[in-house]
Structure formats: C-alpha cells, structure tokens
C-alpha cells in the first residue's frame, strides 16, 4: 500500500468512527443509542409545560417530587403527541427508568403496546382503562371537588349571581358546572341563586377569558369561578373588587385579595405516594380514582388550595369543610338523588343513583340553577321523593 492510499484508508476509518460516535450521542430508539441517565422516574407530557395547560399542572407535581425526594432524579419529555407516545415511552424504558407516568389519556394505547416489552418497568397512565401486571391508571373525581367548592361560592355571593368562565361544553366540564351549582343552591335553599356560564371556546385563551369575566361582572356576578387554565379571570376579579375561585393550581398570586381558593389537581400528592410504593417494593397495578381531601389540605388527588380566614370567613367554612369528609367516592356521591334538571323537572329521585358511568358519558345537560346553554337534553321527569324543603 502506498502512502497516499494509506492516508485515504485512515481518513475513511475516522469518518466512519465519527459518524458512529455522533449517532450514539444523539440518542434514538436502538439499544446502542440509549442515553445513560441517573433518574429513576420519568413523565411524558402532551404539551409545552411553559404554557398554562394540562401538562403544566403535572409539571407542578413533578417539581414537588424533586423537592420531596431530591436524590431520586426525575426526567420529562414534553410536546409528545399520541402518535409519538410509543417511541417516547420505549426510549424512557430503555434508558432504565423504573416508573413512567404517561400524563394524558391519549397515551393509553401506547402504554399497552410498550409495557409488555419491559416487565421490570412500571407504567402509570392518566384517565382509566386497561390495567396489567405493570400498568396502573389514575384519575380524580374532580366533580366532587367542584361540589365542595360550591359550598363556598354559595355562601359568599351577595348578589346571587355566580359567574363561571368555561372552555367548551364537554361532558367533563358540564358535570363540574352541575356540581358547583347544586352545592351553591343547597347552602342557600329557596334563595335566588344562579350560576351563569360563559364559554370561551378554549382552555387557555386569556383574551376570551377576560372578555367573558368582564361580561359576567357587568351582569352582576360578585363571585367568579373559572374552569380554564390561564389566570385571567382571577385578574379581572382583583381589578373589580369581587371574589374569585381558581382552577387547576393555586392561583392566589394573581388575585391576592379576590381569590378565595382554587379547585386544584394535586398530582404531586399522588406521584409521591406511588413513587414511595416503588422505592419500598410495594407498587401494585390498580385503577386509582382519587377522592376529595378528608383531612385539612393536601390529602387527596383533588382538593381546595390552602386559604385563610381573610379569604373565607370562619362561619362560612363550616358546611364545605364537613363536605370534604362526606362527599368522596367511598362515602357519598355528589349526584345521588334528588337531582333536578335546568327546567325544574325532577330527573333522579332522592335515594336513587344514575346508572354506572352515566355522568361520564351522558350528562351533557345542565341542572337546575345553571343559566346557559348545554348541547344535550336531560332525562325524562320521574316520580318519587324530591328535596325535603319545599320552596314557596
């Protein structure tokens, strides 16, 4: 071999080695491209966590884990679509993560595909569905928390008009509106109390939320409740000197004087519980359906953000505080009868229950006390016992 050919051969080898090295450093789905990680727990998010959205709430939970277990190590991947979920989950499992939280219901199919290939890895997916030896599901009965919140909104309104800023008329949102309305009317029996709804068309549209909140204030609302992610409704309440209730996470910072509390998802509470199970070798696959906190604050997957008596006077706290113990999934359900439809018809008699799953699949109509339009029609009027107090 002459010198010229030898140099060419050496250069070719170096080019190949450089390409292999670059491929390994960039990662990928192949076993030879797995990134070496020290974290034990990973999270998959469907959105950019810098925005106010569903994934942002789960990121608050992950940050809580980092605070509580600083030596554990966590990792997250964001903006993962349902189509890309299988690849992301597989990559995280190959990297050696012991517990992976898939934080959107759209990921369930991908989890079911990936989990059997990694029997030593635990997977948890939000939103219910199939479980297996290493697949668990988790959710919270948020409508129960909205019912508890209705005790506060009903007590605090003076005008009798509660304004609710909501994204779109899905069954989930409608049952939450129904829950807070039913409770608001219960604590102010026979009084002229109503929940007026304004739809924004999106979960995070600050401009639309501000417009809806201002319209409700103009209507006479002295309590604003939001079922959207941006804090714009809280800001309006602060500006107008009325009371407000946030949603998703503690929004007190945006309305320090107006905000009574917020109806919150406490993902960190659940994540810490399950991670400790994993660390103690006690993790088991199950379908968790969370409950309202029953002991002060912070003991449930859904709850009220902590407050003080400047926000909610002590005398007005008593009924809702009691409800936090009574209305959870192990004792009583918000939508046990009697239930009245928006038109005043009794549609569920006292002591009766809706068919299993009904409020998740068919409650697309409003209960009595809601002012606004819903897409569905309520069930037919029934005979039977209604409320015990008859208003004249």
Give the per-residue pLDDT at 59. Answer: 98
Clarify whether residues 176 and 280 are in a common domain: no
Which range has the worst mean pLDDT, 33-42, 68-77, 78-87, 140-149?
A: 33-42
Question: Does 334 share its domain with 250?
Answer: yes
Examine residue 27 and state whether it is found in any structural domain, yes or no.
Answer: no
- Asked if 233 and 281 sit in the same domain, the reply is no
Residue 126 covered by a domain: yes
* Residues 134 and 193 reside in one and the same domain: no
- Claim to verify: residue 127 and residue 249 sit in the same structural domain: no
pTM attached to this predicted model: 0.86
pLDDT, tens only, 73-116: 999 999 999 999 999 999 999 999 999 999 999 999 999 999 99
Answer yes or no: is 4 within a domain: no
Query: How distant, in Å, are the alpha carbons of 88, 128, 143 from that of 227?
Result: 30, 22, 12
Assess if residue 15 is contained within a domain.
Answer: no
**Quick check: is 216 in a domain?**
yes
- Same-domain check for residues 123 and 210: no
Q: Do 320 and 238 belong together in one domain?
A: yes
The last residue of one of the domains, among 290, 324, 348, is: 290
With a pLDDT cut of 70, the percent of the chain lying above it is 83
The answer to whether residues 280 and 352 belong to one domain is no
pLDDT at 215 over 80: yes
Q: Is the pLDDT of residue 5 over 50?
A: no
In a domain, 309, yes or no: yes
Whole-number pLDDT of residue 388:
84
Q: What is the pLDDT of residues 358-374, one digit of tens each?
A: 999 999 999 999 999 99
Q: Average per-residue pLDDT in the chain? A: 87
147 shares a domain with 48: no
Q: Are residues 173 and 152 in the same domain?
A: yes
Domain count, the chain: 2
Asked if residue 376 is part of any domain, the answer here is: no
Same domain, 117 and 173: no
Whether the predicted pLDDT of 355 surpasses 70: yes
Q: Is 10 inside any structural domain?
A: no
pLDDT recorded at residue 323: 63
Q: What is the CATH number of the domain that holds 231?
A: 3.40.50.2300
Q: Are residues 150 and 114 in the same domain?
A: no
Could you read off the pLDDT of 282-340 as tens digits, one per residue? 999 999 987 665 555 556 788 888 887 777 776 566 566 666 555 544 456 889 999 99
Q: Could you tell me the residue range of the domain that residue 68 belongs to? A: 34-140+270-290
- By CB neighbour count within 10 A (0-12 exposed, 13-18 middle, 19+ buried), where does 20 fall? exposed
């Amino acid at each position: 071999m002459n010198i010229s050919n030898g140099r060419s051969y050496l250069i070719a080898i170096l080019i190949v080695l450089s390409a292999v090295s670059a491929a390994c450093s960039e990662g990928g789905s192949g076993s030879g491209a797995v990134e070496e990680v020290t974290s034990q727990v990973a999270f998959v998010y469907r959105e950019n966590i810098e925005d106010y959205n569903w994934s942002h709430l789960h990121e608050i939970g992950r940050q809580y884990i980092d605070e509580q277990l600083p030596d554990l190590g966590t990792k997250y991947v964001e903006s993962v679509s349902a189509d890309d979920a299988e690849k992301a989950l597989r990559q995280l499992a190959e990297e050696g993560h012991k517990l992976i939280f898939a934080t959107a219901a759209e990921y369930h199919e991908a989890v079911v595909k990936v989990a059997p290939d990694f029997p030593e890895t635990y997977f948890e997916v939000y939103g219910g569905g199939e479980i297996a030896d290493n697949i668990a599901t988790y959710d919270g009965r948020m409508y129960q928390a909205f019912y508890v919140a209705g005790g506060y909104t009903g007590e605090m309104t003076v005008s009798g008009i509660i304004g609710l800023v909501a994204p779109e008329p899905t069954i989930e949102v409608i049952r939450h509106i129904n829950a807070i309305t039913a409770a608001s009317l219960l604590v102010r029996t026979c009084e002229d109390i109503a929940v007026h709804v304004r739809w924004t068309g999106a979960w995070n549209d600050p401009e639309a939320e501000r417009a809806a909140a201002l319209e409700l204030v103009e209507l006479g609302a002295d309590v604003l409740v939001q079922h959207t992610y941006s804090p714009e409704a809280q800001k309006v309440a602060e500006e107008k000197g009325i009371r407000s209730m946030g949603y998703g996470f503690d929004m007190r910072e945006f309305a320090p004087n107006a905000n009574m509390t917020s109806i919150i998802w406490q993902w960190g509470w659940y994540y810490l519980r399950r991670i400790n199970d994993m660390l103690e070798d006690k993790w088991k696959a199950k379908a968790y359906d969370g409950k309202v906190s029953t002991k002060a604050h912070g003991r449930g997957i859904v709850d009220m953000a902590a407050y003080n008596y400047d926000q909610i006077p002590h005398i007005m706290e008593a009924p809702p505080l009691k409800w936090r113990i009574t209305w959870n999934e192990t004792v009583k359900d918000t939508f046990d009868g009697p239930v009245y439809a928006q038109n005043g018809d009794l549609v569920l008699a006292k002591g009766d229950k809706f068919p299993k799953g009904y409020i998740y699949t068919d409650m697309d109509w409003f209960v009595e006390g809601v002012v606004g339009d819903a897409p569905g029609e309520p069930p037919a009027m029934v005979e039977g016992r209604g409320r015990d107090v008859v208003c004249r």
